[in-house]
């Protein structure tokens, strides 16, 4: 643990400025240490922020300090992310956001204890766990909108504008995938979209599991007003390999199965793979951290997108909306 007052790096100085602007922390006694180390592949975990355990000297850390990285600054609304953290905590779905230091893009949370761990895909594949996640997502969707409408297609356009003139290593068939996105966007738009407040990033690395089956959400950078079938489609795509496994998730969400709604989920899944492949490429170009396998992660997401777009029944799903 490092003691405040002796910064050795620019990051140390930034942490100490943030702590100094968070009254809930006693800066005269505070110490800090790295909490989570970044892993781009296979989990894309802790790569868009740097986090630290913070607490009084000689005692167990009380807080978790998250500093947003600058590589994706254009893609995150810090105020909405903090508002989402507060709302989800009020619902009992996330740790307490104890403070924010906007100048440092830092948010302080109460720290979950050692009995908590990051969920794995195998954990969330289980019916009880995934059903609980769906209930949480539907509860969030029933609340007031955040005022940040977001579409994965707009996200892809934004990322492409940031990447297209860089040295990013692009796949030869990217134009084909982007053309598909235009068709999917048109079909979804024609079918109608009902935006609801959402966590927006239901990957297993953003779910914490605790004692007695407790579950909480973390990482609120994607929070906004989103088509619920986007979030559901993303969740299906991560947890299950076969569509027969995915369909019960739609029944949990809607109370019944609809082929049109399922097609929408699958179309969104392809778009999400392309979105995160491009986002990882942007990280590969911008991140100062060497050795993270951003290209490997991007390649996997491109591959899964390509496989879904090329599936014999995919165009029929598009037309079925």
Residues 230-275: tens digit of each pLDDT: 999 999 999 999 999 999 999 999 999 999 999 999 999 999 999 9
Confidence band of 38 (pLDDT split at 50, 70, 90): confident
- 88: three-class secondary structure by DSSP: helix
Q: What percent of the chain has pLDDT over 90?
A: 92
Q: Is there a contact between 284 and 298 (Cβ–Cβ < 8 Å)?
A: yes
Least confident of 41-50, 162-171, 173-182: 41-50
Q: Is there a contact between 67 and 112 (Cβ–Cβ < 8 Å)?
A: no
Q: Name the token pair of 28.
A: 């005269």
Q: Name the token pair of 71.
A: 């590589």
Average pLDDT over residues 81-87: 98
Signed CA dihedral, 263, 306, 279, 236: sign only: positive
Q: 103, 84, 312: which is closest to 217 by C-alpha?
A: 84
21, 302, 308 from 269: Cα distances, Å: 40, 12, 8
Quote the pTM value.
Answer: 0.96
Beta bridge partners of 49: 68
Q: Name the token pair of 164.
A: 């297209």
C-alpha neighbours within 13 Å on the C-beta side of residue 50: 17
User: Per-residue pLDDT tens for 97-141?
Assistant: 999 999 999 999 999 988 999 999 999 999 999 999 999 999 999
User: Per-residue pLDDT tens for 289-317?
Assistant: 876 799 999 999 999 999 999 999 999 99
Q: Name the token pair of 74.
A: 């254009």
Domain borders along the chain are: 2-110, 117-320
- 5: three-class secondary structure by DSSP: coil
Which CATH architecture group holds 117-320? Alpha-Beta Complex (3.90)
Q: Is there a contact between 271 and 157 (Cβ–Cβ < 8 Å)?
A: no
Helix (H) or strand (E) holding 65: strand 63-68
Q: What is the C-alpha separation between 174 and 318, in angstroms, rounded?
A: 19
Q: What angle do CA 111, 113, 116 make, to 5 degrees?
A: 110
In CATH, which of 3.30.930.10, 3.50.50.60, 3.30.200.20, 3.40.50.150 is domain 2-110?
3.30.200.20
Signed CA dihedral, 111, 115, 119, 125: sign only: negative
Average pLDDT over residues 220-232: 98
pLDDT of residue 40 exceeding 80, the answer is: no
C-alpha neighbours within 13 Å on the C-beta side of residue 14: 19
């Amino acid at each position: 643990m490092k003691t405040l007052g002796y910064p050795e790096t620019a990051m140390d100085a930034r942490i100490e400025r943030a702590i100094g602007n968070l009254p809930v922390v006693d800066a005269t006694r505070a110490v800090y240490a790295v909490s989570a180390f970044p892993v781009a592949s296979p989990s894309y975990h802790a790569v868009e922020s740097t986090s630290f355990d913070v607490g009084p000297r000689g005692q167990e850390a009380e807080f978790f300090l998250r500093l947003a990285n600058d590589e994706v600054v254009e893609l995150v609304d810090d105020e909405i992310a903090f508002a989402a953290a507060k709302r989800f905590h009020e619902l009992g779905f996330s740790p307490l956001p104890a403070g924010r230091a906007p100048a440092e893009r830092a948010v302080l949370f109460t720290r979950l204890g050692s009995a908590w761990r990051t969920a794995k895909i195998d954990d969330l594949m289980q019916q009880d766990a995934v059903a609980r996640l769906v209930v949480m997502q539907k509860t969030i969707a029933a609340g007031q909108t955040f005022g940040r409408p977001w579409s994965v297609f707009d996200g892809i356009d934004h990322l492409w504008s940031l990447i297209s003139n860089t040295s990013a290593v692009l796949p030869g068939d990217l134009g084909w995938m982007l053309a598909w996105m235009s068709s999917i966007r048109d079909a979804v738009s024609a079918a109608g979209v009902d935006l609801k407040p959402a966590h927006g990033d239901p990957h297993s690395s953003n779910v914490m599991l605790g004692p007695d089956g407790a579950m909480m959400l973390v990482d609120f950078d994607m929070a906004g007003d989103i088509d619920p079938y986007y979030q559901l489609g993303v969740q299906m795509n991560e947890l299950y390999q076969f569509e027969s496994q995915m369909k019960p998730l739609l029944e949990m969400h809607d109370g019944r199965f609809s082929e049109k709604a399922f097609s929408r989920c699958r179309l969104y899944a392809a778009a999400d793979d392309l979105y995160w492949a491009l986002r990882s490429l942007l990280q590969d170009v911008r991140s100062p951290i060497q050795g993270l396998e951003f290209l490997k992660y991007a390649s996997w997401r491109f591959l899964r997108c390509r496989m879904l777009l090329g599936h014999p029944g995919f165009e029929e799903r598009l037309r079925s909306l």
